[in-house]
Amino acid sequence: MYECDPAGTLSGVVTRVVIVVVALVLLLLAAAWGLQRRLIYLPSDDAVPPAAEMLPGASDVDLRTSDGLRLGAWYLPATEPDLGVTVLVANGNAGDRGSRAPLARALAEQGLSVLLFDYRGYGGNPGDPTEDGLGLDVRAAREFLVDEQGVPPDQLIYYGESLGTGVVVGLATDEPPAGLVLRSPFVDLAALGSFHYPYVPVRLLLRDDFPLRDQIRSIEVPVTVVYGTADSVVPAEQSRDVADAVPGPLHVVEVEGADHNDAVLLDGKALVDAVVDLAERIR
């Protein structure tokens, strides 16, 4: 007569449960690997209007990347008195250049020329955003300013916003500007991802890195770091860590109580004054 083995039955159930759990975990990890860039890069679906509709006096320009893409950009000359300094703006991970128009207008009114551009996959541009791709895009922006507009590199400021801080620091490692403004910088993408997803092995899964803190250690130009103390996207501690790693002249602007997308950190007086102050110091 057949006798049931309770221990064997339990062992089999446990084995099946373990297999199912492992399969689900692997499925989730595979999804995280394949879909992560859709979580990192959030381009706007809105059409970008002509430059003059958003910024009187601005012109539409085309940037050409080394891998053959054509990217849209707006160039806004400074109003008088012109300080003779140009600001290359690298956006954060969301929206398009249209949402940065108020910043460009505020800077131009303070005597700074400004280039706003959209990365690949943003603002109607072709391509898909990646760390390497954004690196090519910002290089194309710099080449336009230096080669076509005749901007001297020693009169050029790189301005990075959030994700854009990683973009401009990467560029600055081999094409140093006169100065850097980093608004809400993060240590690296893995550290930022781990803050938001503490139970996910983010560092093992990430396809893009943006090793901002490590790269900034080799950049000797004047750096201004601006951040909000109540930033819920990029923790203030990470921005301070980046500032602590700066080897050259450093100016830190801490905006008390400001969150990541508060107006004061988009185009507010403290932010604009920080950029203008750096421009006046490098003239």
Question: How do 223-228 and 250-255 pair as beta strands?
Answer: parallel
**Cα 151–chain centre separation:** 23
The closest of 112, 117, 108 to 139, measured between CA atoms, is 117
The letter for the amino acid at 251 is H
Q: What is the pLDDT of residues 56-110, one digit of tens each?
A: 999 999 999 999 999 999 999 999 899 999 999 999 999 999 999 999 999 999 9
The letter for the amino acid at 63 is L
| Domain boundaries along the sequence of the chain | 1-40, 53-282
The architecture in CATH of the region 53-282 reads 3-Layer(aba) Sandwich (3.40)
Instruction: Find the distance separating the first CA and the last CA of the chain, reported in whole Å.
Output: 96
Alpha-carbon gap, residue 9 to 112, rounded angstroms: 75
Please report the pLDDT score of residue 39 as a whole number. 85
**Residue-wise pLDDT tens for the chain (283 aa)?**
555 566 666 555 445 544 433 333 433 444 444 566 788 999 987 889 999 999 999 999 999 999 999 999 999 999 989 999 999 999 999 999 999 999 999 999 999 999 999 999 999 999 999 999 999 999 999 999 999 999 999 999 999 999 999 999 999 999 999 999 999 999 999 999 999 989 888 888 899 999 999 999 999 999 999 999 999 999 999 999 999 999 999 999 999 999 999 999 999 999 999 999 999 999 8
Please report the pLDDT score of residue 84 as a whole number. 97
Alpha-carbon gap, residue 236 to 48, rounded angstroms: 32
Tokens describing residue 124: 């109607």
Cβ neighbour number for residue 107 with a 10 Å cutoff? 28
Q: What is the pLDDT of residues 138-162, one digit of tens each?
A: 999 999 999 999 999 999 999 999 9
Beta strands in the chain (DSSP E): 42-43, 59-64, 70-76, 85-90, 94-95, 112-117, 156-161, 179-183, 223-228, 250-255
Please report the pLDDT score of residue 283 as a whole number. 87
CB of 52 closer than 8 Å to CB of 98: no
